C-alpha cells in the first residue's frame, strides 16, 4: 500500500484534499455548492477536449474550468441557479461529444468522471503542488473579505468591498483547484470532497479559523481512508470518497444534535 | 430539403420511437421545470438527476430496466434530501450537496461493477449521457403512461403549488400545507428527472428541466402562454437535436455522429441565449433608465 | 468645536425611472444626534445608501470633508441582516470583521484590536454574548452586536437604518438611551432613520424630515412646524403638540385628516 507506485497517489491526494477542504470551507460558507459542482464538470469537458485535440490534459482542464467559472460568476445577479445549471449541462454535453468524437475507450472516460488516483504520474506532482500553493495563497489573501461578504454581504459592500470582484476571484480559485482535483478524484466526485467535510466542520466549531483547519483535516482523512479502502477492496476510489464525505457530514449532524445545543 | 433531412430519417423505427419518447418527456419536463425555475430549485433538480444516475447504474448491476432505476433512484434521493433538512435556503444548499456527493459515489461503484461484469462497452456514457435511439417500444409505452400521471398530478397540485411558490407565508395563512406541497412537488420532479434521464442521460436531464422553462419565463407572458412556450421550446430542442445528430453522421469522413444528447443540450442553450438576446434588445430602454 | 463630517449637496436620486429624492441638502457635524424622519417608503434607506456610496446619486454629491472617500469613517447598522444559522463565527469574530473584514491580505489581529472588540461589546451592553454563535442571536441581541460591529472601527458617524422598527415602547426607550450614551462616550455622531419622531425628541439635536421626495433639515423646533412641513408635502399640514408629543397630521378635504401613523390618527 505504501509501495513506490502508490507514493504519487499519497502525495497528490493529500495536497488535493487539503486544498479541497480549504476551498470547500468558503464554498459552504457562501452557499455556492452548485457552482462548486458545475465547475469541475467544465474541467471534465476540458480534459475530454484536450484528449480529442491531443494536448496536455491540464491545459484543457484549466481553460474550461476557468470558462465555466467566468460564465457562472458573470451572471450572478438574476436567477444565478439557472445560469449555473445551464453552464453545467453544456459543459457535460461538450465533454460527452468530445469523448465520442475522439473514440476514447471506456476506462479513460471513467477516470475523468470518477477519478484514477493510482494513475497519477510523477511529472504531474510538481504542477499540482505549485498550483495548489497558489490557490492556497489566494484564499489566504481573501480570507477576511470572503468571510465578511459571506456573513453579511450588505455590510461588506458598505465597507467598500466589491462583491463582484470577490466572487470572480473566488470562482477562479475554485476553477484552478477543480482543474487539479478532477484527474485525481474525477469530475463528479471533486464536489463531494468540497462539500461534505467543510459542512461537517462548521457544525463542529463556531470559530472560523478552527473550522477552516478542521475542514482541511477532515478532507484529508476522508481521502486517505478512501485510498486505503479502495486499495483493500479493489473498488473505485470515487465510491469511497463520495460515501465517506457524506458520512462525515451525517456523523457531525447526528453528534451535534445528540449533544443538544450546538457548539 | 434533402440537405437537411438526410434520407431514411423517418423510415427509421428507432428514430421514430426516439422522437416520440423525447417529445413526451420534453413536454413533462417543461411543465414541471417551470416551477423548478420559479422556486429557484435548479440545484435540487440537478441533484435528483445525479441521484437518478446511481439508480440507473444500480439497475444495470441488478439487471432491472434503466427507467425503473432512474425513477426509483431519484425518488430515494428526494427522500434523503428531505430527511437531511431543507428548511433554510443555505442549509438546503448543503443538504442537496451532501446527497449529491454521496450518490455520485454510488454511481462510481455501480458503473465500475457494470464494466467488471459485462463485456458491453459504453455503459457509463449510456447512463450518464443517454441515447434516444435505443429506447424500446415497451419503454416508450411506460414513459408515456408515467408522463401522463405526472401531468395529471401537476394539474391537481398546480394552484396551491403556485401560491406556495410565490408567497409561502400567505399560502400558509390560507391553509395550504406548504411543506407537504413542496414534498409532493419534489416527488414529481424526481419522476420527471428519471424520465428525462432515459432520453438525454441522467446528468443532462437538467437541461430539459431548466432550459426551456427559463427561456419561456424570460418572455414574460401569461402563465398559460408560458407553459405552452416552454413545452414548445423543449419539443423543438429534442426534435431538432435528433435531426442534427442523425445528419452529423454524414458531416465527417470518419462517420462519427454527434451524440443526440449533446445536440439537444446545445439547442436548449441556444434557445435560452436567443431569448435573452431578444429580451435585451427589446427592453434596452427600460434597462437604460434604471441604470 | 464641531466640524462637518458629511455634507450632502443637491442630491437627486432616480430609481427605475422614479424620482425618489429631489435636491436633498443637509450636513452632519461631529458628535451630533440626527434623526432622519419619514414615513415608510419615503426614501430613508435610499438616502442612507447614497451616503454610504452604495447608490450613485443622479445629480449632486455627498462630500466627506477631511477624509478621502475610501477611508471615510462611517459605521452602518442596516435594518436587518440575513445571517446563516450555521456560519462558524462567534459574536467576537463578527465584531472584529467590522474592523478588518474589508482588508485583503494576511495579517494577524493585534491585541489592541481584540481589546477594542471587547470595549465595543461592553459599550452596547453585549459582553455576555461574545462567545455565542452569531446565527443563534435573537433580533434584539443581533441589533446590539451590529452596533458594536459598526463602532469597532472607531467611526466618526454611525448610520442606523430604522433601529426602532418593530420594538415595543420599553425596548425603544432602551435603545434610544443606549445610543445617546454611545454617542457621548465614543464621541461618535449618530444619524438614525425612524418613522416616529417622538421617541427621539429628548436626544435629537437635528432633524432631517423627508416627505414627498424632498427634505427639510435643521433643529427640531425649526423643522417640525406647519409652514415648513406644508411646503415639504405641497399641501396643508398641521403639527399638533399634545402632552409633549408631536403629531403630524396631513390630509386634504376629500379624504379627511390622515395622520402619518395609525397610532397618531386624530379624529
Whole domain around residue C179: which residue ranges?
Answer: 1-73+155-232
Of C16, C84, C85, the CB nearest to B290: C16
Q: Look at A160 and C103 and tell me if their CB atoms are within 8 Å.
A: no
Residue C17 within any structural domain of the chain: yes
Residue A219 within any structural domain of the chain: no
Give the best residue of C51, C69, C101 to mutate against chain A (max A CB count within 10 A): C101
Residue C34 within any structural domain of the chain: yes
Residue A55 within any structural domain of the chain: yes
Instruction: Specify which of B176-185, C51-60, C81-90 reaches the highest per-range mean pLDDT.
Output: C51-60
Residue C80 within any structural domain of the chain: no
Residue A194 within any structural domain of the chain: no
Q: Are strands C4-15 and C18-29 parallel, antiparallel or unpaired?
A: antiparallel
DSSP-derived letter for residue B132 is G
d(CA A85, CA C66): 48
Residue A37 within any structural domain of the chain: yes
CATH number, domain with residue A69: 1.10.3470.10
Residue A196 within any structural domain of the chain: no
Say what the pTM is. Answer: 0.82
ipTM: 0.81
Whole domain around residue A123: which residue ranges?
Answer: 4-187
Residue C192 within any structural domain of the chain: yes
Residue A159 within any structural domain of the chain: yes
Q: Look at C76 and A202 and tell me if their CB atoms are within 8 Å.
A: no
Residue C150 within any structural domain of the chain: no
Q: Look at B290 and C17 and tell me if their CB atoms are within 8 Å.
A: yes
CB contacts under 8 A, A 11-70 vs B, are 28, 31, 33-34, 36-37
Q: Could you write out the DSSP letters of every residue in chain C?
A: ---EEEEEEEEEEEETTEEEEEEEEEEEETT-EEEEE--TTSSHHHHHHHHHTSS--SEEEEE-TTS-GGG--EEEE-S-----TT---BHHHHHHHHHHTT--S--PPPHHHHHHHHHHHHHTT-GGGTTSBGGG--HHHHHHHHHHHHHTT--SEEEESSTTTT--HHHHHHHHHHHHHHHHHHT-EEEEEES-SGGGTTT-SEEEEEETTEEEEESHHHHSSHHHHHHHHTS-EEEEEETTEEEEEEEETTTEEEESSGGG---
Of A84, A93, A250, the CB nearest to B261: A93
Mean pLDDT to the nearest integer, A17-37: 89
CB contacts under 8 A, A 152-191 vs B, are 186, 188-189, 191
Vertex C227: Cα angle to C40 and C237 (nearest 5): 45
Residue C218 within any structural domain of the chain: yes
φ/ψ of A123, rounded to 5, equals -70, -20
> Minimal Cα distance from B285: which residue of C?
C17
Per-residue pLDDT of chain B (291 residues; tens, 9 = 90+): 455 555 566 667 777 888 888 899 999 999 999 988 888 888 888 888 888 888 888 888 887 888 888 888 888 888 887 777 655 555 677 888 888 888 888 887 887 887 776 655 566 667 777 777 777 788 888 888 999 999 999 988 888 888 888 777 777 777 777 788 888 888 898 889 888 887 778 777 888 999 999 999 888 778 888 889 999 999 999 988 888 887 777 776 666 777 888 888 999 999 988 988 888 777 654 444 443
Total tally of structural domains belonging to chain A = 1
Mean pLDDT to the nearest integer, A102-122: 68
Q: Which residues of A touch B102 (CB under 8 A)?
A: 192, 196, 242-243, 245-247
CB pairs below 8 Å between A and C: how many? 83
> What is the grid cell recorded at B27?
413536454
pLDDT in tens, A196-234: 999 999 888 889 999 999 999 999 999 999 888 988 888
Number of H helices, E strands in chain A: 11, 0
Residue C82 within any structural domain of the chain: no
Total tally of structural domains belonging to chain C = 1
Enumerate domains of chain B plus CATH numbers. 13-204 (1.10.3470.10)
Residue A215 within any structural domain of the chain: no
CATH number, domain with residue C199: 3.40.50.300
Chains that touch B (3 or more CB pairs under 8 A): A, C
Amino acid at each position: 500500500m505504501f509501495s513506490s507506485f502508490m507514493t504519487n497517489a499519497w502525495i497528490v491526494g493529500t495536497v488535493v484534499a487539503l486544498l479541497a477542504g480549504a476551498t470547500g470551507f468558503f464554498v459552504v460558507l457562501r452557499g455556492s455548492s452548485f457552482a462548486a459542482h458545475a465547475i469541475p464538470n467544465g474541467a471534465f469537458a476540458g480534459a475530454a477536449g484536450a484528449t480529442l485535440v491531443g494536448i496536455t490534459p491540464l491545459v484543457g482542464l484549466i481553460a474550461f474550468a476557468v470558462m465555466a467559472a467566468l460564465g457562472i460568476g458573470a451572471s450572478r445577479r438574476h436567477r444565478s441557479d439557472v445560469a449555473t445549471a445551464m453552464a453545467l449541462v453544456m459543459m457535460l454535453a461538450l465533454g460527452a461529444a468530445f469523448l465520442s468524437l475522439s473514440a476514447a475507450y471506456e476506462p479513460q472516460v471513467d477516470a475523468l468522471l470518477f477519478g484514477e488516483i493510482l494513475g497519477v504520474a510523477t511529472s504531474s506532482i510538481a504542477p499540482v503542488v505549485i498550483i495548489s500553493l497558489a490557490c492556497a495563497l489566494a484564499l489566504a489573501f481573501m480570507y477576511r473579505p470572503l468571510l465578511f461578504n459571506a456573513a453579511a454581504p450588505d455590510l461588506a459592500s458598505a465597507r467598500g468591498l466589491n462583491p463582484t470582484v470577490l466572487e470572480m476571484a473566488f470562482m477562479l480559485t475554485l476553477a484552478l483547484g477543480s482543474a487539479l482535483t478532477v484527474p485525481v478524484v474525477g469530475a463528479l466526485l471533486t464536489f463531494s470532497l468540497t462539500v461534505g467535510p467543510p459542512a461537517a466542520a462548521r457544525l463542529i466549531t463556531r470559530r472560523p479559523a478552527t473550522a477552516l483547519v478542521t475542514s482541511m483535516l477532515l478532507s484529508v482523512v476522508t481521502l486517505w481512508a478512501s485510498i486505503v479502502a479502495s486499495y483493500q477492496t479493489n473498488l473505485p476510489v470515487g465510491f469511497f470518497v463520495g460515501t465517506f464525505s457524506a458520512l462525515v457530514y451525517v456523523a457531525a449532524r447526528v453528534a451535534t444534535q445528540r449533544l443538544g445545543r450546538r457548539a | 430539403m434533402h440537405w437537411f433531412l438526410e434520407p431514411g430519417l423517418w423510415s427509421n423505427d428507432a428514430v421514430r420511437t426516439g422522437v416520440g419518447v423525447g417529445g413526451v418527456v420534453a413536454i413533462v419536463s417543461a411543465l414541471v421545470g417551470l416551477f423548478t425555475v420559479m422556486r429557484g430549485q435548479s440545484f435540487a433538480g440537478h441533484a435528483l438527476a445525479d441521484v437518478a444516475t446511481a439508480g440507473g447504474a444500480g439497475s444495470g448491476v441488478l439487471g432491472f430496466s434503466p427507467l425503473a432505476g432512474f425513477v426509483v433512484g431519484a425518488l430515494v434521493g428526494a427522500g434523503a434530501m428531505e430527511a437531511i433538512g431543507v428548511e433554510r435556503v443555505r442549509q438546503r444548499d448543503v443538504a442537496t450537496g451532501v446527497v449529491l456527493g454521496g450518490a455520485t459515489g454510488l454511481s462510481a461503484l455501480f458503473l465500475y461493477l457494470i464494466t467488471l461484469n459485462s463485456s458491453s462497452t459504453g455503459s457509463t456514457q449510456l447512463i450518464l449521457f443517454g441515447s434516444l435511439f435505443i429506447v424500446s417500444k415497451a419503454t416508450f409505452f411506460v414513459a408515456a403512461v408515467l408522463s401522463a400521471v405526472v401531468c395529471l398530478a401537476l394539474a391537481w397540485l398546480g394552484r396551491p403549488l403556485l401560491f406556495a411558490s410565490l408567497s409561502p407565508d400567505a399560502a400558509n395563512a390560507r391553509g395550504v400545507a406548504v411543506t407537504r406541497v413542496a414534498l409532493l412537488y419534489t416527488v414529481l420532479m424526481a419522476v420527471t428527472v428519471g424520465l428525462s434521464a432515459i432520453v438525454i442521460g441522467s446528468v443532462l436531464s437538467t437541461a430539459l428541466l431548466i432550459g426551456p422553462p427559463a427561456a419561456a419565463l424570460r418572455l414574460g407572458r401569461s402563465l398559460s402562454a408560458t407553459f405552452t412556450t416552454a413545452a414548445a421550446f423543449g419539443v423543438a430542442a429534442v426534435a431538432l437535436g435528433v435531426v442534427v445528430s442523425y445528419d452529423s453522421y454524414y458531416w465527417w469522413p470518419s462517420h462519427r455522429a454527434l451524440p443526440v444528447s449533446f445536440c439537444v443540450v446545445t439547442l436548449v442553450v441556444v434557445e435560452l441565449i436567443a431569448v435573452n438576446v431578444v429580451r435585451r434588445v427589446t427592453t434596452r430602454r427600460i434597462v437604460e433608465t434604471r441604470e | 468645536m464641531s466640524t462637518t463630517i458629511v455634507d450632502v449637496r443637491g442630491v437627486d436620486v432616480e430609481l427605475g425611472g422614479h424620482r425618489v429624492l429631489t435636491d436633498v441638502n443637509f450636513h452632519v457635524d461631529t458628535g451630533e444626534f440626527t434623526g432622519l424622519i419619514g414615513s415608510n417608503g419615503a426614501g430613508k434607506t435610499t438616502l442612507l445608501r447614497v451616503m454610504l456610496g452604495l447608490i450613485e446619486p443622479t445629480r449632486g454629491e455627498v462630500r466627506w470633508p477631511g477624509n478621502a472617500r475610501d477611508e471615510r469613517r462611517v459605521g452602518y447598522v442596516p435594518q436587518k441582516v440575513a445571517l446563516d444559522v450555521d456560519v462558524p463565527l462567534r459574536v467576537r469574530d463578527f465584531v472584529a470583521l467590522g474592523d478588518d473584514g474589508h482588508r485583503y491580505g494576511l495579517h494577524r489581529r493585534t491585541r489592541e484590536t481584540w481589546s477594542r472588540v471587547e470595549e465595543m461589546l461592553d459599550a452596547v451592553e453585549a459582553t455576555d454574548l461574545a462567545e455565542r454563535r452569531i446565527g443563534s442571536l435573537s433580533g434584539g441581541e443581533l441589533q446590539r452586536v451590529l452596533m458594536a460591529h459598526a463602532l469597532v472601527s472607531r467611526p466618526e458617524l454611525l448610520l442606523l437604518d430604522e433601529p426602532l422598527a418593530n420594538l415595543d415602547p420599553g425596548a425603544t426607550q432602551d435603545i434610544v438611551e443606549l445610543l445617546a450614551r454611545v454617542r457621548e462616550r465614543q464621541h461618535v455622531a449618530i444619524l438614525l432613520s425612524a418613522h416616529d419622531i417622538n421617541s427621539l425628541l429628548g436626544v435629537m439635536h437635528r432633524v432631517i424630515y423627508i416627505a414627498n421626495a424632498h427634505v427639510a433639515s435643521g433643529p427640531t423646533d425649526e423643522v417640525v412646524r406647519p409652514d415648513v412641513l406644508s411646503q415639504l408635502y405641497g399641501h396643508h399640514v398641521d403639527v399638533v403638540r399634545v402632552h409633549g408629543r408631536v403629531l403630524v397630521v396631513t390630509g386634504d378635504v376629500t379624504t379627511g385628516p390622515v395622520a402619518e401613523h395609525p397610532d397618531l390618527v386624530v379624529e
